[in-house]
Structure 1
Amino acid sequence: MSQPRQIVPGATYLLTRRVLRRHFLLRPDAAINQLLVYALSVSTRRYGVKVHAFCAMSTHLHLVVTDVQGVLPLFLQSFHRLVALGTKVLRKWEGPVWDHERTSMVRLLTQAAVVEKIAYVLANPVAAGLVRHAREWPGARVDVGEIGRGVLHATRPSAYLDPKNPQWIEQATLPIALPPAIEPENAEGFRHQVAAELERQEAQAHAEVKRRGGGFLGVERAGDVSPYDRATTFESLQERNPTIAVGREQGDAWRAAAAAVRTFRASYRAALERWIAGVRTAVFPVGTWWMRRFHGASVNDVVLAV
């Protein structure tokens, strides 16, 4: 049984979703980029989610978002469904698009964690040995300079979406928001922090590529791969789905956050045991999602600091 997820309004997350068996179905091209930006735009608008960073790799997606209303599972369901159905049409693909593992949702609990994970998202094509600098990646993505002031645009894709359905607007826009803890007057300083961390991660990736004696694939070759091929490089699966992040050298914050996670899980298990025993007055801890939405369980609405 998987661990319960805590869904709290206003939380910021690093989200990762992987394509089935690491096929290159999301290989960057104009049609896929259009689909991704459009699907993300309409889904965030529907559920009030704010996007801070975004990078579409050929085999997976990375996002940093804030779930303002505490409805992240509904947003993910909408976004991933639209991407999957549109991709099936564009690629003439039969069967599932997404990996069977559930979406990785890492809650970012400090500004240091937000800075590091935004840079991580943007640096992903460099770390993968595809391009030397994040700004060169031709896939759908965000640049550092767009955080807090940029807007991505996409016309409604012809793949899958019915133009007669009013929910599929013709022109969609996706504002790239500042994280909630960053005031507008501090936006430039925040972007500088992200840029510095991105530069650090790019340099780290360059050193690793050099150590391996390899090179970078380049924009043209990355765009020429077949979407039906699969990645063959080794990928460790052991540490793929953490729950929280606090940033480097944040020992005290990490210990407090880990303790809060343990408390949530223990409280959830205790409430679930009572529920299974037939006690319908069992109260689940704050952030309980599934039991509240699908079973009408009572949830403690007192948010504990982490």
Structure 2
Amino acid sequence: MSQPREIAAGATYLLTRRILRRHFLLRPDATINQLVVYALAVSARRYGVEVHALCAMSTHLHLVVTDVHGVLPQFLQFFHRIVALGTKVLRKWEGPVWDHEATSVVRLLTPTAVVEKIAYVLANPVAAGLVRHATEWPGVKVDVGELGRGVLRAARPSAYLDPENPQWVEEATLPLALPPAIGQENAESFRRQIAAELERQEAHARAELERRGLRFLGAERASTVSPYERATSAEGLRGRNPTFAVGRDQGDAWRTAAAAVRAFRASYRAALERWRAGVRSILFPVGTWWMRTFHGASVHDVVLAV
């Protein structure tokens, strides 16, 4: 049984979803890029999700978003479904598109964590040995200068989506928002911090590739590899999937966050046990989503003290 997860309105997350068996189904080309941007723009607008950063790799997707209304599971289901069904049409692919593992959802609890994880998302093509600089990646991505002020646009893909259905607008726009922890007055400083962290991560990736005697694949080759091939680089067995991140040198922030997670899970399990015993008046902790959405369970309106 999976651990209960708190879904909090206004929380900022790093989200990662992987392609089945590391196939290159999202190999960057015009049609896939169009599909990803359009699907994300429509999904974000539908659920009120603010998008801060993204990078579509050939084998997985990274997003940094803020779930304004506490509807993250619905947003992910809708967005991933559009991308999967559109990819199946574009690639003439039979069977599942996404890995059987659930989406990795990491809540970013401090401004430092937001800076580090956005830089991590932008640096992904460099860390993967594909291009020397993040700006060279031909897939869907955000550049540092676009953070908090750029707008991505995509026309409705002709594959899969019915032009007669009014929910599929002719052109979808995706404004890139600043994370709520970053005020507009701090926007330039925020971008400078991410640029510095991105440079640090890129330099580390280049040094590691040189140490291993490898070369970067290059944008052109990355764009022409067969989408039906699979990544052959070694990948260790998946370790723990973190629930939250606080960033480097944040003192007791990690221990405080871990205590809050444990408190939520304990409160949730105690409430669930009472619910299963037939007590329908029991209150679940703030952030309970599944029981509230699908079973009409009541939820506390304040966070319980840790």
SS in 2 for 1:31: helix
| Counterpart residue number, 1:74 | 74
SS in 1 for 2:263: helix
Q: Which amino acid in structure 2 is aligned with residue 58 of structure 1?
A: S
| Counterpart residue number, 1:269 | 269
Tell me: CA distance 1:127–1:304, structure 2 relative to 1, closer, same or farther (3 Å): farther
CA contact (8 A) 1:104 1:240 kept: no
Q: Counterparts in 2 of 1:83-122, with a 5 A limit?
A: 83-122=83-122
| Counterpart residue number, 1:227 | 227
| Counterpart residue number, 1:55 | 55
Q: Counterparts in 2 of 1:246-257, with a 5 A limit?
A: 246-257=246-257
- 1:152-208 Cα shifts (integer Å, max 9, x gaps): 010000010011111100011000110012111211110000000000000110111
Provide the rounded CA distance (Å) in 2 between the counterparts of 1:239 and 1:301: 34
| Counterpart residue number, 2:168 | 168
- Number of residue-to-residue matches in the alignment: 306
SS in 2 for 1:251: coil
- Residue 223 (structure 1) shift: 0.8
Provide the rounded CA distance (Å) in 2 between the counterparts of 1:293 and 1:92: 35
- Residue 305 (structure 1) shift: 8.2
SS in 2 for 1:66: strand
Tell me: CA distance 1:40–1:98, structure 2 relative to 1, closer, same or farther (3 Å): same
- Residue 60 (structure 1) shift: 0.3
Provide the rounded CA distance (Å) in 2 between the counterparts of 1:208 and 1:296: 51
Say whether 1:151 aligns with 2:151: yes
Q: Which amino acid in structure 1 is aligned with residue 270 of structure 2?
A: A
Tell me: CA distance 1:36–1:240, structure 2 relative to 1, closer, same or farther (3 Å): farther
Q: Which amino acid in structure 1 is aligned with residue 43 of structure 2?
A: S
CA contact (8 A) 2:285 2:304 kept: no
- For structure 2, the residue ranges without an aligned partner over 5 or more in a row are none
More deviation, 106-115/203-212: 203-212
More deviation, 88-97/181-190: 181-190
Q: Which amino acid in structure 2 is aligned with residue 2 of structure 1?
A: S
Give the TM-score of the pair, scaled to structure 1: 0.98
Q: Which amino acid in structure 1 is aligned with residue 24 of structure 2?
A: F
Give the TM-score of the pair, scaled to structure 2: 0.98
| Counterpart residue number, 2:199 | 199
Provide the rounded CA distance (Å) in 1 between the counterparts of 2:240 and 2:36: 23
SS in 1 for 2:159: coil
- For structure 1, the residue ranges without an aligned partner over 5 or more in a row are none
